[in-house]
Amino acid sequence: MENLIEVKNLKKYFKTNRGLLHAVDDVSFKIPKGRTLGVVGESGCGKSTLGRTVIHLHEKTGGEIWFEGKNISDVNKQELKSIREDMQMIFQDPFSSLNPRMSVSQLIAEPLLIYKKCSSKQELEQKVMKLMDTVGLAQRLYNSYPHELDGGRRQRIGIARALALEPKFIVCDEPVSALDVSIQAQIINLMQDLQEAHQLTYMFITHDMSVVRHISDDIMVMYLGMMVEFCDSEEIFHHRFHPYTKALLDAVPIPQVQEKKERHLIKGEITSPINPGNECRFAKRCPYADELCFQKTPVAEEICPGHFVACHHANPGGVLCQIGSTGSGK
C-alpha cells in the first residue's frame, strides 16, 4: 500500500532557560493512504507537537517529512501554502480555535476565500451550505455564532473548515476530548464516514485508548517525545511488549463491575525532557530497568512483523516478549 505520509527521525526542540526541551525526539513512522494512525500517550508526551510539526505549524529541529513521495521538510512560503491545501488540522478545543466574531458561514468560508476557490458570492454560499450539510450542521445555523452553539456543533464547524479545501491528510488533535460521551460517538462516526467518502488519511491524537481502538488502523505509543511502540491497533491490545504500553492499557477501565483487573502502577521519578541524557526515558519508572537502560537510549526494532518496540529487553524470547504475548487488552 502506498504511503501518503512518511516521517524520518523527526525532532522538535524548544529553547528554555534551563536548556533544550526535547518535545519530539527521533520519531519515525509511515501512514498509508486512507488509513488512520492513532498516537497515544500521557499528557505532555509530545503528541500534539508531533502533529503540528508534521503539518509545519511548528518548524522542525531535524529529520525529514515526506508527502506523496516528495520531501517537504524545507519548503518556502509559497510551497507551504500549496501543501496546506492537502494537509489540515482539527483542533482540540472547538471554542478557542474559532473566531468568536465570525458567524458559522464566515468561519467555514474563510479557507475558501483565502485560496480563492470560488468565483462568485453565490458559488461560495453553495459550497458553505454543502459543507454544513456534509458535517451535519442545520442550515438555520448559517448566521449563528460559536458561543450560541454546543461543543459538538462547534467541533463540526472545525471539521467543515478542515474539509473545505478537500485535503488528503488531516491531523486530528484530540478532537473529542472536550466533548461528552454521547457527542464523542457522533463526531467519531462522522469522521469515519467522511474518511470513507473522501479517502482521507488521519493522524488521530488522543489519550483515550477506547477511542483510538475504535478509529485507528495502527497505533503509535509515545513517551517523553519518543516512540516506544508501534503496531496494528488490535495487535497492541493483545500483544504489547513495552512496560509503558502495558501500564497505559492496564489503566483502561473495564465495564464489568464484578471483574477484577490486575493493574501495573507506574512508580518512580519522571525523567526531565530538558537535556535528557543518553538513557531510556522510561528507565526511572520501569520495573525491568537494569544498568544498560541507564547507559543507552533504546532504538525501535521490529520484534515481529509490523510490530516495533523501543526497549532493550523486548527481544524475541526475552522476558517482556513472554509477558506481552500472553497479555490481553480485554
Q: What is the pLDDT of residue 269?
A: 86
Look at residue 319 and tell me whether its pLDDT is greater than 60.
no
Least confident interval from 87-101, 213-227, 315-329: 315-329
Q: How far apart are CA 129 and CA 69, in angstroms?
A: 34
Q: What is the pLDDT of residue 260?
A: 67
pTM of the model: 0.90
Q: What is the pLDDT of residue 259?
A: 65
Mean pLDDT computed over 195-215: 93
Mean pLDDT computed over 182-200: 93
Look at residue 91 and tell me whether its pLDDT is greater than 80.
yes
Q: What is the pLDDT of residue 264?
A: 66
Look at residue 325 and tell me whether its pLDDT is greater than 50.
no
More confident residue, 250 or 41: 41
Mean pLDDT computed over 315-323: 48
Mean pLDDT computed over 124-151: 95
> What confidence tens digit (pLDDT) does each residue in 13-23 have?
999 999 999 99
Least confident interval from 60-64, 103-107, 260-264: 260-264
> What confidence tens digit (pLDDT) does each residue in 146-171 have?
999 999 999 999 999 999 999 999 99
More confident residue, 145 or 176: 145
Q: What is the pLDDT of residue 278?
A: 92
Q: What is the pLDDT of residue 322?
A: 42
Q: Residue 324: pLDDT band by 50, 70, 90 thresholds?
A: very low
Are the CB atoms for 242 and 235 separated by under 8 Å? no
Look at residue 72 and tell me whether its pLDDT is greater than 80.
yes
